[in-house]
Structure 1
Amino acid sequence: MSIPVVTVGSAQEAVVGGLERLRGPVTVVRRCSELAELIAACQSGLAVAAVVAEGCEELTTTLVDRLGAVGVSIIALTDDPAEAQRLHSIGALPAMTGIEAGDLAAKISEAVGRGSRQSLPASARDTGFADPGAELRSMPESDRSDEETPQGGGRIIAVWGPIGAPGRTFLAANIAAELAAEGKSVLLVDADSYGASVSAVLGLLEESAGFAQACRLADQGLLDGQALRAVAIPVFTKGGTFRVLAGTTRADRWTELRAGAVAMVLDAARQLADHVVVDTGFCLESDEELSFDTMAPRRNAATLRSLEMADVVFAVGSADAIGVPRLVRGLAELEAAVPEVSPRVVLNKVKRSAVGHSPRQQLDDAWDRYGPGVGVDAYLPADPVACDAALLTGSVLLEVAPDSPLRKAIVGLVCAPVQQKQDSFGRTIRALRLPKR
């Protein structure tokens, strides 16, 4: 079977020319003069592999990810070990510039055979370059995180819900706090590209857009454990400490949250925390990618990629005449957008005034009749007094209302033990609020 390849760069004429002289399965169908031309050729379906002999420093995670989506594997030639490590980390296959044509053809064949940039060929380890993940795995625990480093990678918990403010962010923040109170290391990620609000809920004064910063580093192949910790803000609560990757500070910065970079950030986050709690946006449309042949950014890419990578997805809806139908429709959209997800349904803000007498029974009956065929995992009672107090002080429920029925329901949802220790005056200790920054 013939493997069509496009190349860019004249500096390695001997190597590329050698491919043509082999007359094997690898066929050079076009020599491009610049990277933009190579990208266009790949986008048109001309090739299934690309050899970048010049300009590999222009390759990013977004570019490699997008070309991988159209079935193109990238082999980049460089003699710089640091650059090779960066290329490997963003999904390209590095090789030495002096590689023999036969060996290069073998690498191309194996890369195409694997069919995914996520699992690089074994030959990628034969280039003499270090594994880019080795730095993160070998980093001393004291440098990797303030909390205990998980063994085997952490769990990603995504909190999603339809439009209409069903309480996604408030629930995500309190899940993170409860898991931290249980003694787990936790990273809370604000991946909402429409209305990032984790910082406001937690009263964080520093508008750092940590998630966007981490995505930019990942896009350039520069994200490691120390870099991720540097952009994550520590939040100190009475029960424990967790870190936050704050959301974008302006709505127009959503273009920084590219799918490939988001995936790399979440993968790195798994290595630093037992639990990665992701507050996602509401919209599940594939948006711009449907309308453009070029590599247009997708506003909902952060939400969709987070849901795809999540180990657990909580689907949250308001327990009222508007919120329940929205959740039912939203679950159908979720199944269509991310078929592999099996969400845990959470009905929030349950109250008699909105549902009627015996609200849980009323909701059960309505859900059995109109629901999408999956059960409701949790009913979170409305507690406006406790919620208002938490938002007013930029705190979480375990601090301002530890005995709140809502707080206890959230504890039960994430299987964390109820933390009942209070100071002698029955108040939370907010002397630590200053380090919250």
Structure 2
Amino acid sequence: MSIPVVTVGQSREDVVGGLERLHGPVTVVRRCAELPELLAACQSGLARAAVVAEGSEGLTASLVDRLGAVGVAIIALTDNADEADRLRKIGVASALTGVHSEELSDRIADAVARLTGLDRPAALSAEADTGAALAAAPVEPKPGPESAGTGKIIAVWGPAGSPGRTMVAANIAGEMAADGREVLLVDADTYGASVAAVLGLLDESAGLAQACRLADQGTLDADALRKVASTVATALGTFKVLTGITRADRWTELRAAALALVLERARHMADVVVVDTGFCLEADEELSFDTMAPRRNAATLCPLEVADTVYAVGAADPVGVPRLVRALAELETAVPQAAPIVVMNKVRASSVGRSPERQLRDAWERYGPASGLTAFLPYDPAAADAALLAGSLLHEAAPESNLRSAIRELVCAPVQRKAKSSVFSSTPRRKAKD
């Protein structure tokens, strides 16, 4: 198997030139003057690997993602331990500038094999270029793999039409913080970010965009994430918030690769990460001939793909229910592993009929998708309006409301939830006999 390689820059011992003199599967097909030229060469299908001998500081997570999408692995040469660590965080293999050409060939083959899932070439040339070994190389840093974070990601999603995604997401975060957990609330809605407004935050800095920028550069860690997140203090607990973009046209700042890194770092920072997502699941590639262009809906799809729990929120009315049914079918196609917990919001007899929960269950069993209805949140405009007007959560504005109780039971007391017959009932009914 041949591995065509493009390069940019030239190391002081010219190991890139040494690659050209090796007799093996790794072949240098073009030397580029700068990164944009290298990117163009890779996107044209010319190479399967790129060696960045100079200018590795220009590599970002988004660039790495773009090259990975066309099957190109990246190897950067640097003697700076901090830069090597940054490169590792954005998915770039690194080597010292004084690396032997033969060893560089091995690393290229390994990087391509990891990216493509194919076996590396059985044998590489043993004829290394001796010029690469003239100078003694410093000790190369070998950072161990970063342990996975233990935090859980909860994605709150729902169809178009204001079913109450943000209200549910914000109050889930508040209830979990009240239980003593460290919580991070993330506003990833690229169409109508509103978490800051719901919580009464006068924040125009777009915390999530800042975090994505740091992640793209490979400089985001748990401490940096805490600094860009806003703090919300309530009577029952405190949690952090990454506010959403301040204008809809800033959606390009929330790229998939960077957002995935933000969520990965968030797992290390918080016990629970609650993500308020947008509604649209459409694959942007279907709308554009440029498959490498930024994807607006990636900010919705990415959290749904990595979430441990997905809440699908729909409005309990003759318009909201069929919207949710159709949207769940789209979700199953777009993110098959999601397995959503379906929540009916704004449940009221005036829009569904008497015994609204029973009516909704009966209709769902006849026409609904495979996912069963899990929870019902009552329509309580007085409590919701009081919280919105005060820029606070339900446990502060309306602590005794049925709506607050239903949300708390949804995420904090599943056993108690099973004991209730209806969100309109203030007393649990007697359990049915087995």
Q: TM range, normalised to the smaller chain?
A: 0.7 to 0.9
Indicate the percent of aligned positions where both proteins have the same amino acid: 68
1:289 Cα deviation from its structure 2 partner: 7.0
Residue identity matched to 2:392: S
Q: CA deviation at 1:6?
A: 1.5
Q: How far does the alpha carbon of each residue in 1:206-230 deviate from its partner, in whole angstroms, 9 at most, with x for none?
A: 2221100000111111112221111
Task: Tell me the CA shift for residue 110 of structure 1.
Answer: 1.1
Q: Please state if 1:338 is matched with 2:350.
A: no
**2:181 paired with 1:169:** no
Partner of 2:140: 128
**Aligned counterpart, 2:301:** 304
| C-alpha distance in structure 1 between counterparts of 2:190 and 2:375, whole Å | 27
The structure 2 residue matched to 1:251, chosen from 230, 244, 248, is 248
Which has the higher mean CA deviation after the structures are superposed, 391-400 or 31-40?
Answer: 31-40
Segments of structure 1 that go 5 or more residues without pairing to the other structure are 118-125, 138-150, 419-437
Structure 1 residues 230 and 416, CA, compared in 2 at 3 Å: closer, same or farther? Answer: farther
Shift of 1:106: 0.7
- Counting only pairs closer than 5 Å after superposition, residues 233-248 of structure 1 correspond to structure 2 as 233-248=230-245
Per-residue CA deviation, residues 312-351 of structure 1 (Å, 9 max, x unaligned), is 1101110111101111111111111112211111111000
1:223-268 Cα deviation digits (max 9, x unpaired): 1222111111111111111000001111111110010110111011
Structure 1 residues 163 and 12, CA, compared in 2 at 3 Å: closer, same or farther? farther
Per the normalisation by structure 2, the TM-score is 0.87
Judge which range, 316-325 or 48-57, deviates more: 48-57
Structure 2 residue 176 is the aligned partner of structure 1 residue 158: no
Q: Does 1:97 align with 2:97?
A: yes
Quote how far apart the aligned CAs of 1:385 are.
Answer: 0.7
> How many residue pairs end up in the alignment?
396
Distance 1:215 1:132, change over 3 A: farther
Cα distance between partner residues in 1 of 2:88 and 2:279: 33
- Counterpart in 2 of 1:111? 111
2:259 to 258, 262, 272: 262
2: CA distance, partners of 1:359 / 1:412: 19
The equivalent of 1:76 in structure 2 is 76
Whole-angstrom distance in 1 between the partners of 2:83 and 2:96? 11
After TM superposition, give the deviation of residue 412 of structure 1 in Å.
Answer: 1.4
Aligned to 1:140: none
Equivalent in the alignment of 2:36: 36
Q: How many angstroms apart in 1 are the aligned matches of 2:218 and 2:345? A: 40
Q: For residues 290 and 204 of structure 1, what CA distance do their matches in structure 2 show?
A: 35
Equivalent of 2:359 in 333, 357, 362: 362
Unaligned runs of at least 5 residues, structure 2: 118-137, 416-434
Which TM-score applies when normalising by structure 1? 0.86
Would you say the 8 A contact 2:42–2:67 is kept in 1? yes
Counterpart pick for 2:179 among 182, 185, 189: 182
Q: Which residue of structure 2 lines up, in the alignment, with residue 382 of structure 1?
A: 379
> How has the CA–CA distance of structure 1 residues 289 and 28 changed in structure 2, closer, same or farther, with 3 Å as cutoff?
farther
Match of 2:195 among 170, 184, 198: 198
1:369-422: per-residue Cα shift (whole Å, max 9, x none)?
A: 11112101111111111001100101111112222111111111112499xxxx
Partner letter of residue 61 of structure 1?
A
Deviates more, 1:42-51 or 1:9-18: 9-18
Q: Which letter does structure 2 place at the counterpart of 1:131?
A: P
Matches of 2:244 and 2:160 in 1, distance apart? Answer: 18
Distance of 1:402 and 1:417 partners within structure 2: 19
Distance 1:409 1:69 in 2: 43
Partner SS, residue 374 of structure 2 = strand
Q: Distance in 2 between matches of 1:130 and 1:160?
A: 40
Measure how far apart 1:96 and its partner are.
0.7
Q: Which of 213, 216, 219 in structure 2 is aligned with 1:216?
A: 213
Amino acid at match of 2:143: D
Distance 1:417 1:404 in 2: 18
Aligned mates of 2:66, 2:144 — CA distance in 1: 21
State the alpha-carbon separation in 1 of the partners of residues 152 and 312 from structure 2: 17
Deviation at 1:60, TM superposition (A): 0.5
Structure 1 stretches of 4+ with a deviation exceeding 6 A read: none
Instruction: Indicate whether 1:395 and 2:392 are aligned.
Output: yes
Please report the RMSD computed on the Cα atoms of aligned residues, expressed in angstroms: 2.2
* Offset, 1:295: 3.0
